[in-house]
Amino acid sequence: STFYYRYHTLEDIYDWINRTANDYPDKVKAILVGSSYEKRPLYALKLSLNNRPNKKAMWIDCGIHAREWISPAFCLFFVHYLLSFYNVNTEITQILDNMDFYVLPVMNPDGYKYTWTNSRMWRKNRSPQNGTSCIGVDLNRNFDANWCTTGASPDPCNEIYCGPFPESEPESQAVANFLRSHKESIQIYLSIHSYSQMLIIPFSCTTDEAENHSELYEMVKTAADQIRRYYRNTYTYGAGAQIIYLAPGGSDDWAYNLGIKYSFTFELQDRGRYGFLLPPSHIQGACNEALLAVKTIAMKVMEKP
Ligand code: 0X9
Ligand code: ZN
């Protein structure tokens, strides 16, 4: 099987980032957005295919949760797909002519490494906590959006531990800082997770409706309809607090409140048969479905004035 239809070690992913930036020097730049608790670099790839001024941009992060291996696999696939089909596929060409992409393939490299070497089902990052031998913060509970209220835990031994304070972790702080300093251009925020096949819109930190709820709802509904039509697969869609559970401190809600009004979390395949242990033979299907949803959303946002 080809490179994109396998899972890769963290070292292989760093090599791939390097290679991709070197192979496309005029189109791709590796941006160091920060480093992890264990001092691993957090590189985002910026894809910018022309020098048009005032382009919109989309941010995608993968691998917030260590065990969700399909997520980094999607980021690699997605970058490769965009670069391969620019000037080949009309839709991809149109999207890249009007939009830049920032792609962070592994937001939680310490955790990801740990799932390869020690414990396959690790979720959090790997930062030690005061007064306990329990390790790690759930990075998707560490953002400043109704931080550590119902749906997160103040217990460092819990899988959904919110951390000692908002943005306490270098990984969440790096992403928050980058988004804060690029919020004029970044119009779409997308975080890739697994599993359960869901296209989630704000809010997850409150049962309140987002101000542009119907617009966002229409987008994820259209994307889910497309996936059903082309791949005969079912994705649930809607506000997080409605379709999953209250989960405060997430990156999507935080980005939304920052002013990035097109904010999404995707939960990729599957719906529980393999769960986090999705076999490599399913990577291609999972990535194609998510790609279709990203294209649908990018096209819709491009139509906006
Ligand atoms: O609970 C989460 O962080 C995500 N589900 S997962 O199984 N991948 O852990 C859902 C995130 C939805 N968005 C927010 N909670 N803000
Ligand atoms: Zn997750």
pTM of this structure? 0.98
- DSSP-based three-state secondary structure for 5: helix
Residue 240 CB–ligand 1 contact under 6 Å: yes
Note if 267 is an active site residue.
yes
Cα of 140 to ligand 1 centre, how many Å?
Answer: 7
Backbone phi, psi, residue 29, to 5°: -125, 140
Tell me if 103 sits within 8 A of 117, measured CB to CB: no
What pLDDT is attached to residue 222? Answer: 98
Residue 265 CB–ligand 1 contact under 6 Å: yes
- Name the one residue in this structure whose structure tokens are 């913060």: 137
What pLDDT is attached to residue 51? Answer: 86
| Strands of the sheet with 41-47, listed across from one edge | 28-35, 41-47, 99-104, 56-62, 186-194, 262-268, 198-201, 236-239
What pLDDT is attached to residue 119? Answer: 98
Tell me if 277 sits within 8 A of 178, measured CB to CB: no
What pLDDT is attached to residue 53? Answer: 84
What pLDDT is attached to residue 54? Answer: 84
- Sign (positive or negative) of CA dihedral 137, 244, 121, 278: negative
Backbone phi, psi, residue 31, to 5°: -110, 125
What pLDDT is attached to residue 27? Answer: 97
| Selected catalytic residue, list 68, 167, 171, 267 | 267
Q: CA-to-CA distance for 298 and 195, rounded, in angstroms?
A: 23
- Name the one residue in this structure whose structure tokens are 């009007």: 98
- Report the CATH number of the 3-118+184-303 domain: 3.40.630.10
Name which residue sits closest to atom 16 of ligand 1, judged by CA: 250
Domain positions in the chain: 3-118+184-303
Q: Is the ipTM of this complex over 0.90?
A: yes
Q: Which amino acid is at 291?
A: L
What pLDDT is attached to residue 1? Answer: 54
| Residues of the chain scoring pLDDT < 50 | none
Cα of 246 to ligand 2 centre, how many Å?
Answer: 14
